[in-house]
Copies of this chain bind each other. A is one copy, B any other.
Amino acid sequence: MTTLSAASIPRTAREQARADVLAELKSIGRRHLAESGSAALSLRAVAREAGMVSSAIYRYFPSRDELLTALIVDAYNALGAEVERADAGRRRSDIAGRWMALCRGVRGWAIANSHEYALIFGSPVPGYHAPQDTVDPASRTTLTLVSLLHHGMECGAITNTGGAVPAPVRKDLIGLNSLSGMDIPAAVMLRGLAAWTQLFGHVSFELFGQFTNLIHDRDTFFAVQMKLVGQQVING
């Protein structure tokens, strides 16, 4: 969407220096985020660590929210890349295996980067509204699932068991195809989205503490649950 390629290639020395500083600030910010969470992310602290005075950082990020947005975009991309890698590591026709790999990819990344996960899937940062820049990276992970559904139907692993889907929902669901360029029937897409919310609901429950004192062997529990979900999305 954004003119990323055109605008972000540093041409002059000044632009190069700016890009360097910006990258360093983002990197420091990401570390602060990982260590202390989003609420503790402070422009002043980042500036201090970068060796500049607090007012100078406003040359790079017009506000704290702008820094957060940059980190959110990065987080979406990191998760997307991780999931894509997990998915690519399986035989293309092994739908059930790819689903499990995908689940493990999401959960693994979420656990390893819990604050970033919270940033994108947790409560929205108050007073902050995600700008349009975030929707493209956000859909990257979802696309992996949709293409899994697509391949599943292609090789017959997933069949359209039908089932009536109310018109307005059907419209939304087949509308999703225009984003991916694929052609998933509404009933299948419905099951896919159910699996999706189940996956992230589980990960969020685990990371946000809802399993405390209840579930102890979380690796196994997750595997069992996701296997169940996988069967449901495949068999209808």
**A residues within 8 Å of B by Cβ?**
36-40, 118-119, 121-127, 130, 135, 138, 165-166, 168-169, 171-172, 176, 190-191, 193-194, 197-202, 204-205, 208-210, 212-217, 220-221, 224-225, 228-229, 232
**Distance in Å from the Cβ of A161 to the closest Cβ of chain B?**
12
A39 to B213, CA, bound (A): 27
Query: In the complex, what residues of B have CB within 8 A of residue A228's CB?
Result: 190-191, 194
Q: A168: nearest residue on chain B (CB-CB)?
A: B217
Q: How far is the CA of A93 from the CA of B235 in the complex (A)?
A: 29
Check B124–A214 contact: CB distance below 8 A: no
Cβ A39 vs Cβ B126 within 8 A: yes
Q: Within the oligomer, what is the number of copies of this chain?
A: 2
C-alpha spacing A25/B123, complex, angstroms: 24
Please judge, given known A-B contacts A39-B126, A39-B127, A220-B169, whether A197 and B190 are in contact too, CB under 8 Å: no
Q: Is the CB of A215 within 8 A of B123?
A: no
Q: Report whether over half of chain A's contact residues are helix, strand or loop; otherwise say mixed.
A: helix
Contact between A172 and B217, CB atoms less than 8 A apart: yes
Cβ of A166 and Cβ of B220 under 8 Å apart?
yes
Contact partner, A125, options B39, B138, B220, Cβ 8 Å: B39
Of chain B, the residue at the smallest CB distance from A166 is: B220
Cα(A165)–Cα(B38), bound, Å: 38
Our pick among B138, B190, B191, B204 for the contact of A204 (Cβ within 8 Å) is B204
Residue among A172, A197, A199 facing the most chain B CB atoms (10 A cut-off):
A197
* A229 CB contacts on chain B under 8 angstroms: 194
13 contacts between A and B (CB under 8 A): A37-B123, A38-B123, A118-B124, A121-B210, A122-B123, A122-B208, A168-B217, A191-B228, A197-B205, A197-B225, A200-B210, A201-B202, A204-B204
